[in-house]
Structure 1
Amino acid sequence: MLQTFLPLFLMTFGICLFIVLMQFLWRYIDDMVGKGLGIPVLGEMFMYAALFLVPMALPLAILLASLMTFGNLGERLELLAMKSAGVSLVKIMRPLIITISIISIGAFFFQNYAMPVVQVKLYTLLWSMRQKSPELDIPEGVFYSDITGYNVYVKHKDNKTGLLRDMMIYDHTKGFNNVSVMVADSGRLKTSADKLFLVLSLFNGESFQNIGDQSKNADGKQNAVPYQRETFTSRDILIEFDANFSRTDESFMQNQYLGKNMHDLQTSIDSMSVRLDSIQDVNSKNVYETSYKRTLSKPKDTKNPESKDTGKEPENINTDQKKDEPVIVMNFDSLYQAEDPGKKATILTRAKSSIENMKADYFFRAATVGDEAYKVRRHLTEWHKKFTLSFACMVFFFIGAPLGAIIRKGGLGMPVVISVVLFIFYYIIDNIGFKMARDGIWQAWEGMWLSSAVLAPLGIFLTYKAVNDSVILNADTYLNALKNLFGKRSGRKVELKEVIMFNPDYKNIIPRLEQLAENCKTYLAGHKRWTNYIRFWKQGGRDHTADSLAAEMDGIIEELENSDQNLVLNKLMDYPVISGYNQMNAKINGNIGLAFGIFFPIGLPVYLLATYQRKLLRHDIQMVQKTSNELIEIIEKLPVSL
């Protein structure tokens, strides 16, 4: 098993890693193109990107490799041979279960110790690449604005000599109100030796510039602005332009959640949770202090410092006198209406200003709490991510291995399709859970373990079905179920046997056929199309009379199948297959079935479906009665010797 699985696993892991790496490349291609980055820098970036994408490629590779392994074994009948020898599927999977367990443990340590270093280096390198200035490649016929403070227009470029012809340069380093324009017949652009400056050499040109302030005078009229025009044969312009690649310090990324292992994450979560609780406590006290409940409450005695500091009542106050003090009730509307209009406007302005200040203060406090809570959630999601990869590897193996044993298709056809569909489903569910946890809609553990909770039951179900050799992917099974649901069932097939051990006793069969026809007549008379809803659920959804008729009919058919008369055999094929009408296959107690039909919403649809199928059942019973009578006539016309 290991000799079959490991090569496939290494191959599929390489393919999956290459695919996700190409997706990563297309995502960040704009940050790398045109920057003049060297091969060592690009190679380092691809190495870190490949390590960063291992958690995405590893579960998909395990799913695809396990599917192909057991699919190949099933297609070559090797799996069937091992089961025939008494080896169970669980025992066949045991070496691979141990191998996947080792891989899962290794994935956990990789996530905990290697991934923080990889993420810090990768994101630091990407940030440095984004900050690097692009290489100068001035296009023809358009204005080039990637040089800070300048717009350059070149009508034609000589690629052999590097000469730029018919140039126009707009210099707005001093502001857009003092733009200078230079026009030249030709020029050259090169970088200084230290790559910190650009040297723009212009030949045979003119420059135009306004001199002086363009502000207005005291009368509001525009001041006259002196105008300067200069003709030159050659001119060199020095422009600051850092073309070197400088790396950003990694210490900033290391302090983020992506640069920490489990121990550091837990430490940060504890400290940030304490900080968040203290901020929320301070905010809640501030809200209470500035609320109407606090400001309208009776102030403490300012003469007694003990009552102010400790909240205790002063000892020299007569409590009886305090109880007799009248309660002053203020009507704010009456007080406001008593003021003159100017005073009212002042009061409204002050109230509006106070409300706006309070609103701005609350928004600031809410933003502070939101930022702190977001940091805590991101640390929690990263903490759970250390475990989800390992668990996903195990889940995908227990999906792929039994699924391959069921479909029995190897190669890169069906396994690839199934793997991609399952992995896309997993990726979507995982992203939904992550965003829910990141935004605080769900708890961190709920969002990060959502994909595993969804796929784990699927793995258990497929493993159970594969161990019990259940056929769940056979299209004919579901097609026949749909046909039975709508009354389109396959007919009987009865063929003449080459060797007949004994002929049927036609004399004894005729009374049985007559009894069957009579029973069908009685059934049709006593069982109408509609049945009582309460009686239906008391019977547990089963029609016991129809079951006994079907058993009686099958017994007659089984005996007559030994006949050597083609007329008899052809007529047996007219008997319908009475099955698929019982809506509740389980044996349900009458009271339980009645409670199920009354209190559960699915009870009514099941009853309506059973009513529709009851119509089909009556048609089949009529067909049984008709066929039995016709069969009696055929048997009676057979030679007496039979």
Structure 2
Amino acid sequence: MRIKRLYLFLIKSYLGTFLATFFICLFVVLMQFLWKYVDELVGKGLEFSVLAQFFYYAALSLVPMALPLAILLSSLMTFGNFGERLELLAMKAAGISLFRIMRPFIAFITLVCIGAFFFSNNAMPVIQTQLYTLLYSMRQKTPDVDIPEGSFYRGISGYNIYVREKDPKRQLMKNLMIYDFSNGFENAQVMAADSGRMSVSADKRTLILDLYSGESFENLRNQSNSMVTVPYRRESFAFKEILIEFDSNFSMADASVASNKYMAKDLAALTYSVDSLKHKVDSLANHNFMEYRGSYFNRSIYDFKPVSRDSLANYEQYSIDELWKGLSLEQKSKIFDRFVSWADRQKAGEEFSAMESFTYAKSMRRHDIERHRKFTLSFACLVFFFIGAPLGAIIRKGGLGMPVVISVVLFVIYYIIDNMGYKMAREGVWHVWCGIWLSTAVLFPFGVFLTYQAATDRIVSLTELTVVKAIVKFFKKKKGDNALKGSTDEYESK
């Protein structure tokens, strides 16, 4: 009964910290994500509902990145607080081992890992599809018209607009020049006006330009009437209204634009796609091999019948060089042209086959990477717990100071290794499983080592680690050499 109360106390202490750190980490990675796509959001006049939907799906898509960091930080803080407040020491003094203390946490993290797998397999394909569709729709949306002063604005298709000065109070543009290429460059129209105003129609599908006191020049090179060809037309006006088709409404694209992407598939669909693409790559390789065997240089002569040699016949001996010298220049030119065209065809065929094989192999690797990532998130959460919990018990520091620093350093190391392995797997330098599981394989022994040290009550200081000792020794040596060099220079100067 007391153990159950203890477990309940431990879970309550951890759960609040875990939720707080998770939302903090999610907010941080979300800001980094939004900074990456800020150009897709600014200047588009997107409605609040569209932005809210985008933030929602972006936050959900970043859960795989925020969850391991939150587990690491919350484990460090919780066990650091236990050690700092001597609660961990009291539990050990009562005869409760560290593994027994960690038992409810392990059960909770196991449930989180299982939930993370189902989230990656079932929810992430839908989330990624919606997010990709939103991004595609926002990229296709026409940006709001914001004509700058003193430079040409080319944001409207078929038009170049120049405004020398703007009056924000009167919402007036002064000294306008408009180049209309909507009917082609040959039929360009140029308009100049002293001032003008710009507005949008009620349905947001038409841009209205009201011009005052100006002239227009239109090239009529390709137009003619029944009497005489008119090269151009010039018009002076006191007021002129121009209507430009400009759809500024936001329209959501069809989800089918992302339905065939690797990120929009679950584990079963990814496995099927990997097998199908592997079969295509192998079939293409076999086809190219058989085609090469039957190429020009590997042709076999079929239906060959040996001819009996006539002992009385006198055979003349020929050489290739003599035959070549006996050809005329025209014959040699034809032979050269024939072989050059054959070589070009062979080169084009080989390049196309290589490009086709590369495309299939790249798509297969992308699908295989996504398939492995369904599992790496769960294992990363487990590994980070077995790093954070014993490390917090060792350093015995809670709060947001030391745990945050250590968590950020460890997560940056994990992210660098994971990103390096991902790139190696994506480019085909390493096997997919080797590149994707590299970060977990590197940090897992570190977690086992820390858990063993914390369970045996061995306090590990940084200077006890061999690598750190070598670095400290190196810097001490460099410092001594610099001091010796400084004293030598001082002696020589005297």
| TMscore range, shorter length | 0.7 to 0.9
Deviation of the 1:173 alpha carbon: 2.1
Give the distance between the partners of 1:329 and 1:117, measured in 2 at CA. Answer: 77
Where does residue 266 of structure 2 map in the other structure? Answer: 261
1:274 aligned to 2:274?
no
Deviation of the 1:352 alpha carbon: 1.8
Give the distance between the partners of 2:331 and 2:19, measured in 1 at CA. Answer: 83
Alpha carbons of structure 1 residues 478 and 259: separation in structure 2 relative to 1, 3 Å: closer
Give the distance between the partners of 1:104 and 1:481, measured in 2 at CA. Answer: 36
Are the counterparts in 1 of residues 186 and 221 from structure 2 also a CA contact under 8 Å?
no
Give the distance between the partners of 1:156 and 1:457, measured in 2 at CA. Answer: 67
Deviations 1:146-176 (A, max 9, x none): 0111111122333234222221111122334
**After superposition, where does 1:238-637 map in structure 2 within 5 Å?**
238-294=243-299, 297-300=300-303, 332-475=320-463
Deviation of the 1:46 alpha carbon: 0.4
Deviation of the 1:431 alpha carbon: 1.1
**After superposition, where does 1:104-253 map in structure 2 within 5 Å?**
104-212=113-221, 226-253=231-258
Give the distance between the partners of 1:428 and 1:272, measured in 2 at CA. Answer: 29
Deviation of the 1:121 alpha carbon: 0.1
Deviations 1:409-447 (A, max 9, x none): 111111111111111111111111111111111111111
Deviation of the 1:374 alpha carbon: 1.3
**Secondary structure of the corresponding residue to residue 105 of structure 1:** helix
**Secondary structure of the corresponding residue to residue 398 of structure 2:** coil
Q: Which AA in structure 2 matches 1:299?
A: Y
Please list every run of at least 4 consecutive aligned residues from structure 1 whose deviation after the TM superposition is greater than 6 angstroms: 322-326, 476-482
The TM-score, its normalising length taken from structure 2, stands at 0.86
Are the counterparts in 2 of residues 210 and 225 from structure 1 also a CA contact under 8 Å?
no
Alpha carbons of structure 1 residues 330 and 27: separation in structure 2 relative to 1, 3 Å: farther
Are the counterparts in 1 of residues 462 and 468 from structure 2 also a CA contact under 8 Å?
no
The TM-score, its normalising length taken from structure 1, stands at 0.67
Give the distance between the partners of 2:307 and 2:334, measured in 1 at CA. Answer: 37
Alpha carbons of structure 1 residues 131 and 332: separation in structure 2 relative to 1, 3 Å: farther
**Secondary structure of the corresponding residue to residue 228 of structure 1:** strand
Give the distance between the partners of 1:480 and 1:265, measured in 2 at CA. Answer: 43
**Secondary structure of the corresponding residue to residue 445 of structure 1:** helix
Stretches of structure 1 that go unaligned for 5 or more consecutive residues are 215-223, 302-316, 489-642
Deviation of the 1:178 alpha carbon: 4.0
Percent of aligned positions that are identical: 55
Deviations 1:473-501 (A, max 9, x none): 2548989978x999x9xxxxxxxxxxxxx
Give the distance between the partners of 1:205 and 1:90, measured in 2 at CA. Answer: 85
Deviations 1:218-265 (A, max 9, x none): xxxxxx993432111222222121111111110131122111101111
Q: Which AA in structure 2 matches 1:230?
A: E
Are the counterparts in 2 of residues 17 and 50 from structure 1 also a CA contact under 8 Å?
yes
Where does residue 611 of structure 1 map in the other structure? Answer: none
Give the distance between the partners of 2:360 and 2:461, measured in 1 at CA. Answer: 50
**Secondary structure of the corresponding residue to residue 257 of structure 2:** helix
Are the counterparts in 2 of residues 197 and 240 from structure 1 also a CA contact under 8 Å?
yes
Where does residue 35 of structure 1 map in the other structure? Answer: 44
Task: Give the CA RMSD over aligned residues.
Answer: 2.9
Give the distance between the partners of 1:73 and 1:324, measured in 2 at CA. Answer: 102
Give the distance between the partners of 1:212 and 1:71, measured in 2 at CA. Answer: 82
**Secondary structure of the corresponding residue to residue 87 of structure 1:** coil
Larger relative contact order (CA 8 Å, sep ≥ 6):
2
Q: Which AA in structure 2 matches 1:94?
A: R
Q: Which AA in structure 2 matches 1:57?
A: A
Are the counterparts in 2 of residues 213 and 225 from structure 1 also a CA contact under 8 Å?
no
**Secondary structure of the corresponding residue to residue 59 of structure 2:** helix
Are the counterparts in 1 of residues 164 and 176 from structure 2 also a CA contact under 8 Å?
yes
Where does residue 18 of structure 2 map in the other structure? Answer: 9
Q: Which AA in structure 1 matches 2:283?
A: S
Alpha carbons of structure 1 residues 278 and 399: separation in structure 2 relative to 1, 3 Å: same
Give the distance between the partners of 1:300 and 1:457, measured in 2 at CA. Answer: 68
Give the distance between the partners of 1:72 and 1:114, measured in 2 at CA. Answer: 35
Alpha carbons of structure 1 residues 367 and 84: separation in structure 2 relative to 1, 3 Å: same
Deviation of the 1:127 alpha carbon: 0.6
Stretches of structure 2 that go unaligned for 5 or more consecutive residues are 1-9, 224-228, 477-494
**Secondary structure of the corresponding residue to residue 212 of structure 2:** strand
Give the distance between the partners of 2:92 and 2:243, measured in 1 at CA. Answer: 81
Deviations 1:551-579 (A, max 9, x none): xxxxxxxxxxxxxxxxxxxxxxxxxxxxx
Give the distance between the partners of 1:293 and 1:446, measured in 2 at CA. Answer: 39
Are the counterparts in 2 of residues 75 and 408 from structure 1 also a CA contact under 8 Å?
yes
Alpha carbons of structure 1 residues 54 and 324: separation in structure 2 relative to 1, 3 Å: farther
Give the distance between the partners of 2:464 and 2:432, measured in 1 at CA. Answer: 44
Give the distance between the partners of 2:322 and 2:202, measured in 1 at CA. Answer: 82
